[in-house]
A and B are shown apart, each in its own frame.
Chain A
Amino acid sequence: MPHTPPPLDNVLQSLASRWGTLDVSTYRNQTRIVVAESVSLEVLEFLKAEGFDLLVDVTCVDYLEYRGALNRYGLVYLLTATTTNQRLTVRVFVDDPTPCVRSVVPLWEAANWLEREVWDLFGIHFEGHPDLRRLLMPEEFAAHPLRKDYPLQGRGERHNFPILTRHDG
């Protein structure tokens, strides 16, 4: 039998009492809330105080080719409470031309490299991040490869890679 996670009613109620009605949905026993970018940091700070002490993951989905999508980028914050084993997914949607959210590094140090990875692969800017550099791609790389408009085989970066010989060095 699939495991049934502990209920989240209390947390959702206290969230609703503070920020009004929230967009809450559930799929396969997973509860998600959608939070506006303007209050994302405050909501996450509140959730951390409510016991969600472990930030499992920060990632992003590019909805460019997704049928019926209203926004281009959807950030995903996966939170877990280590004492009660509750899980909650927080979604924050942002759009071009300057996709930007506030960094949660002040709340969870774990977000440091996770946000760097999202910046690297999706080009989402994290305001207030202490060290927002590329994590996986080389520094001089120009694109954000996990965006849907970036082709699978790249834009020829590998073929035009500058080759240094011993003499050049």
Chain B
Amino acid sequence: MAIATTEFESAERAGHSKDYHWTLNFGPQHPATHTTLRIVLTLDGERVVDAQPEMGYLHSGFEKLGEHLTFNQYVTVTDRMNYISPMANNVAWHCAVEKLLGIDLTPRCRYIRTIVAELARLSDHLLSNGAVGLDTGAFTFFLYAFYQREVIYDIFETLCGARFTNSYTRVGGVSHDFTPLVVQKIRDFVKTFPKTLRDMEHLLTRNRIFVDRTQGVGVLSKAEAIGRGATGPVARASGVTRDLRKDEPYLAYEDFDFQVCCAVAGDCYARYCVRMQEMRESLKIIAQAIENLPAGAANVGIDQRAALPTKKQVYSTIEGTISHFELSMSNRGFAVPCEESYAATEAPNGELGFYIVGDGGESAYRARCRPPSVLHFALFPHLIRGHTLSDVVAVLGSLNIIAAELDR
């Protein structure tokens, strides 16, 4: 159980020397950070008195690159932001670009993007919950989760050829339409996955050791969650009922029946439970979407001049030829307004938005990414104070910090 911070403060006020405090460097290379980040912990025995998070070890100037790559090229960079769920980043980036350019997607594309974004959510939650299990000693649980991620990778590989860095979306569409094989694989996954989910819940949800390690650890209240900018599962585990899929429906989310999963405890266990429940809801969305997948083209038509026309159109129609030429030439491309817009999606980790400034050129004038991880990592010292050293990994895992998204 946590000792209130005030006890330490009163001890300090009483004039006790702080010589007994010692400093521990956690990271930047540590197996339990899972990525490259650093936390300087001040310890009193095993209790964490203070934590000083440091970031920037993976900073690679993604936002600067966004000012030099075209709207279609930059999708490869978004893969590398949150590499646990690259599909969700692809979708977020191109939703933002299409909002700026004013492109209306086809119904089929909306459904396809919804499905891949939800698959990405599953793969993210599997890993983040799996890692919490791993760090608190539940290795079997992690392997169950990781096996299912492999199945999702297989679906993505069948879909677009890439397992990890998918770069799947394009302005006005997607790089590959769903084939009957992909649809079949997703249907199979929807059938088989609930069994694993049940197994995982049986392994961990009422496991005494796990519950003791996570319940009451790293408590975030509702007011703090809002004030400190938490979004996604972290906020919902603290009782914030905000989910962009419901509150600001984008893509095809309006068509589906699903619940927003919330908890009120705000501790690591609540965050674990919210993610587990969200996987069930995501599965519901995928099941509904794959059975009601609209027919027709996946990409927008040549009249919108956004997505490359099919080869058949290029070789047999003059509009197709012109459209292909216009989109391929470096001095033509899209009609980009001199405007700015922000579009957000409910990524697995929270609100992932892009603030894009267009200046008429083929690439963004400014491509700001609003990364949920940064705000969640800023919560860390607040959540860990007063807990023990072994709780550091539980809290860090439950926040699901992805350093590549953190540093961009």
Chain A residues packing against B (C-beta within 8 Å): 1-3, 5, 27-28, 30, 53-57, 59, 61-62, 65-67, 76, 78, 82, 85, 89, 108-110, 112-114, 117, 121, 134-138, 145-146, 152
Contacts and interface: CB of A to CB of B under 8 A. Distances in A.
A27 B341 contact: yes
A76 B355 contact: yes
Given A2-B99, A78-B342, A117-B374, 5 more contacts: A3-B248, A3-B249, A27-B341, A28-B99, A85-B247
B339 interface: yes
Contacts of B366: 61-62
Contacts of B240: 82
For the complex of A and B, list the 7 residue pairs with the smallest distance between their C-beta atoms, beginning with the closest: A110-B229, A136-B56, A136-B59, A113-B378, A57-B370, A59-B368, A85-B247
Given A61-B340, A78-B355, A113 B59 contact: no
B99 A146 contact: no
30 contacts: A2-B104, A2-B250, A3-B254, A5-B248, A27-B339, A27-B341, A53-B226, A54-B226, A54-B242, A56-B351, A57-B342, A57-B353, A61-B357, A66-B359, A67-B360, A82-B226, A82-B240, A82-B242, A109-B228, A110-B378, A113-B377, A113-B378, A114-B374, A114-B375, A121-B63, A135-B55, A136-B56, A136-B59, A152-B64, A152-B65
A108 B344 CA distance: 20
Interface size class of B (residues with CB under 8 A): 35 or more
B227 A108 contact: yes
Interface string B86-109: 000000000000011010100000
Contacts of B38: none
B248 A113 contact: no
Contacts of B368: 57, 59, 61, 76
A78 B226 CA distance: 14
- A54, A67, A112, A152: residue with the most chain B Cβ atoms closer than 10 Å: A54
A59 B229 CA distance: 14
B193 interface: no
A145 B61 contact: yes
B383 to A, nearest CB: 13
A109 B227 contact: yes
Contacts of B63: 121, 146
Contacts of B340: 27, 61, 76
B213 interface: no
B338 interface: yes
Given A113-B378, A136-B407, A67 B342 contact: no
B68 interface: yes
Contacts of A135: 55-56
B54 to A, nearest CB: 9
Contacts of B360: 67
A28 B341 contact: yes
Nearest to B406: A136
Contacts of B250: 2-3
A132 B384 CA distance: 22
B103 to A, nearest CB: 11
B365 interface: yes
Contacts of A76: 340, 342, 355, 368
Nearest to A53: B226
A113 B56 CA distance: 12
Contact of A110 (B102, B248, B254, B375): B375
- B65, B68, B226, B250: residue with the most chain A Cβ atoms closer than 10 Å: B226
Contacts of B248: 3, 5, 85
A59 B355 contact: yes
B68 A152 contact: yes
Nearest to B222: A82
A117 to B, nearest CB: 7
A28 to B, nearest CB: 5
Nearest to A78: B342
A134 B55 CA distance: 10
Given A56-B229, A78-B342, A108-B227, A61 B365 contact: yes
A2 B254 CA distance: 10
- B63, B254, B342, B370: residue with the most chain A Cβ atoms closer than 10 Å: B342
Given A57-B368, A112-B378, A30 B61 contact: no
Nearest to A66: B359
- A57, A76, A121, A145: residue with the most chain B Cβ atoms closer than 10 Å: A57
A56 B370 contact: yes
A9 to B, nearest CB: 19
A103 to B, nearest CB: 15
Nearest to B341: A28
Contacts of A59: 355, 368, 370
Contacts of A145: 61, 64
Nearest to A61: B366
A145 B63 CA distance: 10
Interface in B48-87: 55-56, 59, 61, 63-65, 67-68
A145 B344 CA distance: 25
B102 A28 contact: yes
Contacts of A136: 55-56, 59, 407-408
